[in-house]
Amino acid sequence: MELILKNIGMIKRARIKLHGLTVIAGENDTGKSTIGKVLMAMIKTDVIARTKYLKKKKELKIAGKELKEENLKRYFFKNRKYGFNRLRELLFKDFLRTNADLYELEEKEHYIKLSQDENKYLKVFFNRKKNEWEFSENSFDLDYKIPYKDITYIQSPLIWDLQGFFNSILQMKSQIELEEDIKFKFEYPYILWDLYGKFVKKRIEYVSKFHRDIIKTITKDIINGEFVKKEGNIFVFRRKNIDIPLVNVAHGVKSFGILQVLLENGYISRYGILVIDEPEVHLHPMWQIKYAEILVKLAKNNITILLQSHSPYMIEAIKRYSEIEGIEEKVNFYLADKGYIEYQETLESIFEKLAIPMRELKKLKWEKYKN
């Protein structure tokens, strides 16, 4: 599949292949994170709307009511539009702006398109006249659907530090709905909430040998311990039979712990997309290389990954491991720069852009000799 953006926020143009391991490199504030968020909004929107449609259809059938397909379709389209706008609020704080909004340009088109081929796609665009986001009439209908059942976004290992907060919210939500029979509505960090739900609830019980091997690499060869869920959905880090509270665990260890738990619970699979935002922030360069090796092995096993990074260690390691594993055709590199996200045949332009800080440091080195 391909993700296409035109005049969305800081991004003027982007055309990104979603196959294997896709790496978007670039400096901060170049729109890298926007890519992952709009992808999450598109996939979640479609999947949730289809789930509600099937549930509604089943309820009508059980009740013995007439199934009017046209009414069900309208129900599906209504839910999809509402779902996208709700996720837009949660993921962007209602700030998914168009290029024209930010730069006062009279651009005619502002859209996000998730394309399977020329005739099969999901497209949402900004209607300037109505001042709202709408889905194209030619978008995926009920006869076609996105080949992914879910998307998981890893934003920060700080998720572990919020487990008590999320547990409290979950309990309060259940209690309010039980006692007052009302819907519990609150503003919350959606990406972290979605990830937390995947920590505490398994998608599958069976873990394949491939997944077990990756988990073993993480727990035995890298972090020398494992993350364990205890009573009350509270996790600890267990090392040599000693349970360590997560407040005392390094962020680098927590970064690998996220992968461990998601693998154990079945959320890293070929049926979903894994989005990872700058994992290098909390990792020593050597662990960045280890992290890159794991990502390449996941891609080799047909898992789709979108990685946003500005680490030359991470990017170079992905390139080298993809060559070793023989999956160069499954790894694609893009550079985010000046409003455009463009495919890169080589890493030359990426490293030239990421090397700017080093050149600045060299200039500073010689400043004292000028005076």
In this predicted structure, what is the pLDDT of residue 172? 67
In this predicted structure, what is the pLDDT of residue 48? 92
In this predicted structure, what is the pLDDT of residue 137? 84
In this predicted structure, what is the pLDDT of residue 240? 94
Burial class (CB in 10 A: 0-12, 13-18, 19+), 137: exposed
- Answer yes or no: are the C-beta atoms of 123 and 135 closer than 8 Å: yes
HEC string of the chain equals CEEEEEEECCEEEEEEECCCEEEEEECCCCCHHHHHHHHHHHHHHHHHHHHHHHHHHHHHHHCCCCCCHHHHHHHHHHHHHHHHHHHHHHHHCCCCCEHHHHHCCCCCCCEEEEECCCCCEEEEEEECCCCEEEECCCCCCCCCCCCCCEEEEECCHHHHHHHHHHHHHHHHHHHHHHHHCCCCCCCCCHHHHHHHHHHHCCCCCCCCHHHHHHHHHHHHHHCCCEEEEECCCEEEEEECCEEEEHHHCCHHHHHHHHHHHHHHHCCCCCCEEEEEECHHHHCCHHHHHHHHHHHHHHHHCCCEEEEEECCHHHHHHHHHHHHHCCCHHHEEEEEEECCEEEEECCCHHHHHHHCHHHHHHHHHHCHHHCC
In this predicted structure, what is the pLDDT of residue 272? 93
In this predicted structure, what is the pLDDT of residue 182? 46
Map out the domains of the chain as residue ranges.
2-135, 154-328+344-362
Rounded-to-integer distance, Cα 61 and Cα 55, Å: 10
Q: Which residues contact 121 (CB under 8 A, 6 or more apart)?
A: 113, 114, 115, 138, 139, 140
Task: Select from 107, 104, 139, 141 the least CA-distant residue to 126.
Answer: 107
In this predicted structure, what is the pLDDT of residue 181? 47
**Which amino acid is it at 340?**
Y
* Phi, psi (rounded to 5 degrees) for 305: -130, 135
Q: In what order do the strands lie in the sheet with 340-344?
A: 132-135, 121-127, 111-115, 2-8, 11-17, 340-344, 331-337, 21-26, 304-309, 272-277, 150-154
Rounded-to-integer distance, Cα 160 and Cα 180, Å: 31
Token pair for 226: 């494992």
In this predicted structure, what is the pLDDT of residue 129? 84
Token pair for 29: 């504030």
In this predicted structure, what is the pLDDT of residue 142? 78
CA quadruple 173, 174, 179, 183: dihedral, nearest 10: 50
Instruction: Average pLDDT across each block of 10 residues of the chain; the chain has 371 residues. List them in order.
Output: 91 94 91 92 92 90 83 91 90 66 61 87 89 87 82 93 82 57 61 92 88 97 96 92 95 97 95 95 96 98 96 96 96 94 94 82 69 57
In this predicted structure, what is the pLDDT of residue 346? 93
* Phi, psi (rounded to 5 degrees) for 12: -85, -45
- Answer yes or no: are the C-beta atoms of 78 and 48 closer than 8 Å: no
Tokens 């929107």 belong to 45
Token pair for 329: 């055709």
Task: Select from 250, 265, 258 the least CA-distant residue to 295.
Answer: 258
- CATH 3.30.450 is held by the domain 154-328+344-362: no
Say what angle helices 285-300 and 209-216 make with each other, to 10 degrees.
Answer: 180
